[in-house]
Amino acid sequence: MKKNQSVKIFLMLVLSIFTLFIINNHKVKADMGPKPYIEINIKNINCDEYYVTLLSKTERYGPWKRVKEEDLAEYIAQLEDPSIWQKFYDYVDSDNFYFLNHYQKLSQEDVFRWGYMPPGTFKMLIYIPNTDKFIVSEIYERYAFSSIFTFDLSKVEGANGDINLVQTPVKIVKQNIFFMELFKFILRVVATLGIELLIALLFFYKIKKREIKVIAIVNVITQLILNISLSIWIYYNSLWIFEIILFIIIEIFIIIIEGLAYAYFLKEEIKERGKPWLPYLYAIVANVLSLVIGYGLALLTTYLF
């Protein structure tokens, strides 16, 4: 099999795998892609059953809304067990925050997660059925795509770890997710650099050390620019399928920059090969493939972490 045929088969195979991955994980629908979420780690609560929700500053947020009084009877009739829901609905907040019909049952130390469009400005509200007691937090805001907090009962002043002694709004602590984001950033950079260097080995017959060095340096610079932009975007907004247009535009500029850089720094090597178009073709193929792979990795790490 000829070298050019091997390159084409390799590229088609990788492109097909990532195309299928994206399509399989993103069925076509109007509301597509991963959504911002809030996660609260509940610590040092010795209670076999309690319920947690987030109160919203507004009566409606995304698909969630407070049930109007005229619709109350009809809504309750659809619930299997309306008792807990009714407790949250009847709760009167001092700052006029609203219950949006979503809550979760927890036990002991557990994790509350609102995984689909949680309110932007919120209070955590805990209800303990055994003692008919509510615990409400101070006001907080979503600070990133993955907004993770911790509520530790043992750190509530004056409560001494007793949930029944909590009288004032409690504090929840933001979790530092910098290192997780850094890990995902490094993963994307290393993977895309590895792929582009592999393509270089396939493209350039008897590639020289100087060529590898130039390609590596140029790719490190351009991939850092691309992935820093990508990481900042994902941190605040996550990533969904139509936003690939933005990265295609960025990739076009990177292709131009890389093609010019290879043509300038490898002019003697290109002249020897007698193929002045080779650096531009390589830049196009390598970046198109790295875009698909980088986007796939961005989706994968968003779901897994």
Q: Residue 113 contacts by C-beta under 8 Å, 6 or more apart in sequence?
A: 37, 38, 39, 40, 104
Instruction: Kindly tell me if the per-residue pLDDT of 222 is higher than 80.
Output: yes
* Mean pLDDT of all residues in 252-276: 85
Q: What is the mean pLDDT of the chain?
A: 79
pLDDT 10s digits, 229-259: 766 665 565 555 555 666 677 778 888 888 8
Encoded tokens for 207 = 């590639």
What residue ranges do the domains of the chain occupy? 3-30+178-304, 37-174
Encoded tokens for 182 = 């850094």
pLDDT of the residue at 233: 66
Which DSSP helix (H) or strand (E) runs through 110? strand 110-114
Q: Helix H segments across 135-277?
A: 178-203, 209-237, 244-265, 267-273
pLDDT of the residue at 294: 62
Asked if 280 contacts 261 with a C-beta cutoff of 8 angstroms, the reply is: no
pTM beyond 0.95: the answer is: no
pLDDT of the residue at 32: 39
DSSP state, residue 153: G
